[in-house]
Amino acid sequence: MTENQIKEVLETVTPAATEDAAEFTEGKIRAIVEAQRKFFRTGTTLSIKWRIQQLKKLRDAVRAHEAEFEAALAQDLGRSKVEAYLCDIGPIITEVNEMIHGLRRWSRPEYHWSGLMCFPSTITKVYKMPYGVSLVISPFNFPILLTLGVVAAAMCGGNTVVIKSSSKSSACTAALKKFCAEVFPPEYVTLIDGGHDVADWCLAQRFDKIFYTGSPAVGKHVMAEAAKNLTGGETGNWAVVRKDANLEDAARKIAFFKILNAGQICINVNQIAVAEEVADAFLKELKAAFIAQIGKHPEKNPEYPKLITGRAWDSCAALADEYRDRIVFGGTGDKQTQRYAPTVIYPVDINEHIVQHELFCPLLPVAPFKDAEIDALMDVIAEREHPLAMYLFTKDKKWANRVMRTQQYGGGCINEVCIHMMVKGVPFNGTGHSGMGAYHGVWGFREFTHPQTVLTGKTLFNLPLREHPYGGDNEKTKLRILRLMER
């Protein structure tokens, strides 16, 4: 591509896409992220069929914008047409094709035998869930590949994407901005350009996943800024009891779990949402279950665990005193032994501060809701920080499976508590605020190993396809062969 041809192509890109980066303020970036979060919560991106359609749209659009990308790469990095295709454009098409062909297989839930420890449960599923709203920070050296290649991976996983492209490769950023605006709605994929201040405004937002490619020095800054969004209060794990649930069974299991280690378990039930139609009956069963398992005065029972420190006991007792007028069971303790009875607080509004943070003690707030408004309740839970565990009690398996496939949480159970932790071969993990990474069995191996790729080359019959010269008579031949390799 000659300099005149490059200039000609770039003139079609620049006016539409290189608006002043000052158009982005922290408030506007926050609005973009909020719009993407709202779109993600519609569940549109969960559909595998829809994801494949978007990946095809991405691939076809890359082909349609090939000349613009080549011209931009030539201006920013002096790349020839063949090198632009070899290093940036061709690999994207190849990778997207692989995603289109493999996504249905990759996304299938895994089925595991629950094991004898979990009897009578026999089957445990592992869903492949998207993180949510993702931020892709791309570098200048491969500005098309390391932007759209990562965007494709995020889309393949069912996420929405905010792109912060490099200010150094300005022509490629302009081409990418025009590309994204033409191909995808901003609530799904949008590109933000600008300098370091704009990047920091992006990092100030609460993203579910951040993908950065670049120098270690900048990587440290990205991690430091992103960590600021992990300093808020954990909202804890919900148990949801619907009106059709087996109330005696639900109460028995929740009582067992809340007694265990005096509630000092990261996956314990932090609060219960119970259908108001059965709230009184459920509370009666819950009280009976506590008494049957640990007695009427658990703080005097040597089998009942204690809180770890005097300070932890004081904190628990102080919070119980704050809700003293709504304690319907428990509320007693022994400071000397550091035992505090399982304490049920009812009714509690879902917006009260006691259900806005992790309790890590035997207090158990119970929030009533109208069963007909269950989806609205689940929307409220979804808007908060993602819990480490979720427990649903209902006979409506269709509803429960839909919730477990669409909500974001670390792990959980339907009509059970905690024993998903005992299943061999499945991951224990959190998402967003509740943690990063996964372990247990092979998942722990994957988390704590580095997948290191090694290729052994041959010393004979090496073709000069990847080597210069790229121009002249070589250009058409090499591009033809490279395009055949996309498949």
Banded model confidence at residue 2, pLDDT cuts 50, 70, 90: low
Q: What is the Cα–Cα distance from 487 to 192, expressed in whole angstroms? A: 32
Q: Is the pLDDT of residue 376 over 60?
A: yes
- pLDDT value at residue 31: 95
Which helix (H) or strand (E) segment holds residue 286: the answer is: helix 279-294
CA separation, residue 91 to residues 13, 60, 149, 446 (Å) = 23, 14, 8, 26
- pLDDT value at residue 20: 45
- Note whether 3-231 and 237-442 share their fold: no
With the CA atoms of 430, 431, 436 and 440 taken in that order, what torsion angle do they form, in degrees rounded to the nearest 10? 30
Higher pLDDT, 473 or 393: 393
Non-local CB neighbours of 384 within 8 Å, separated by 6+ positions: 235, 356
- pLDDT value at residue 232: 45
Q: Is the pLDDT of residue 440 over 90?
A: no
Banded model confidence at residue 7, pLDDT cuts 50, 70, 90: low
Task: Answer whether 311's CB lies under 8 Å from 298's CB.
Answer: no
Please list the residues that pair with 363 across neighbouring strands: 343
Q: What is the Cα–Cα distance from 475 to 269, expressed in whole angstroms? A: 64
Task: Report the pLDDT averaged over residues 85-97.
Answer: 90
Task: Answer whether 239's CB lies under 8 Å from 220's CB.
Answer: no
pLDDT in tens, 448-477: 655 666 677 777 888 888 888 888 888 999
pLDDT in tens, 212-261: 877 778 888 888 887 777 644 467 899 999 999 999 999 999 999 999 99
- pLDDT value at residue 236: 84
**For the chain, what percentages of helix, strand and coil (3-state, to nearest 5) are there?**
50, 15, 35
Q: How far is CA 148 from the centre of its chain?
A: 20
- pLDDT value at residue 14: 47
Q: Which of 20-24, 128-132, 146-150, 362-366 has the highest mean pLDDT?
A: 362-366
What region does 453 belong to: left with phi over 0, alpha with psi -120 to 50, or beta? beta
Task: Answer whether 135's CB lies under 8 Å from 154's CB.
Answer: no
Q: What is the Cα–Cα distance from 111 to 107, expressed in whole angstroms? A: 12
- Give the closest residue to 253 by CA, choosing from 347, 371, 120, 382: 120
- Give the closest residue to 395 by CA, choosing from 269, 207, 235, 244: 244
Banded model confidence at residue 115, pLDDT cuts 50, 70, 90: confident
Pair of tokens at residue 145: 């590949």
Question: Comparing 67-71, 91-95, 271-275, 391-395, which segment has the lowest mean pLDDT?
Answer: 91-95
Please list the residues that pair with 135 across neighbouring strands: 162, 210
Q: Is the pLDDT of residue 46 over 60?
A: yes
pLDDT in tens, 322-336: 999 999 999 999 999
- pLDDT value at residue 50: 97
359 phi and psi, to 5 degrees? -85, -45
Task: Answer whether 145's CB lies under 8 Å from 138's CB.
Answer: no
The DSSP bridge pattern shows strands 123-126 and 110-113 to be: antiparallel
Task: Answer whether 229's CB lies under 8 Å from 207's CB.
Answer: yes
Q: For 237-442, which CATH class?
A: alpha beta
> In one letter, which amino acid is 146?
L
Non-local CB neighbours of 106 within 8 Å, separated by 6+ positions: 128
Please list the residues that pair with 112 across neighbouring strands: 124
Q: Is the pLDDT of residue 5 over 60?
A: no
pTM: 0.80
| Unique residue bearing structure tokens 């009956």 | 281
DSSP secondary structure letters along 242-267: -TTS-HHHHHHHHHHHHHGGGG--TT
Question: Comparing 280-294, 386-400, 470-484, which segment has the lowest mean pLDDT?
Answer: 470-484
Q: To the nearest whole number, what is the mean pLDDT of the chain?
A: 88
Task: Please state whether the peptide bond connecting residue 427 to the residue before it is cis, i.e. omega within 30 degrees of 0.
Answer: no
For domain 3-231, give its CATH number from 3.40.190.10, 3.40.50.2000, 3.40.605.10, 3.40.50.620: 3.40.605.10
> In one letter, which amino acid is 277?
E
Give the domain ranges of the chain.
3-231, 237-442
- pLDDT value at residue 463: 82
Task: Answer whether 352's CB lies under 8 Å from 343's CB.
Answer: no
Task: Answer whether 446's CB lies under 8 Å from 454's CB.
Answer: no
Q: Is the pLDDT of residue 146 over 80?
A: yes
Task: Answer whether 411's CB lies under 8 Å from 428's CB.
Answer: yes
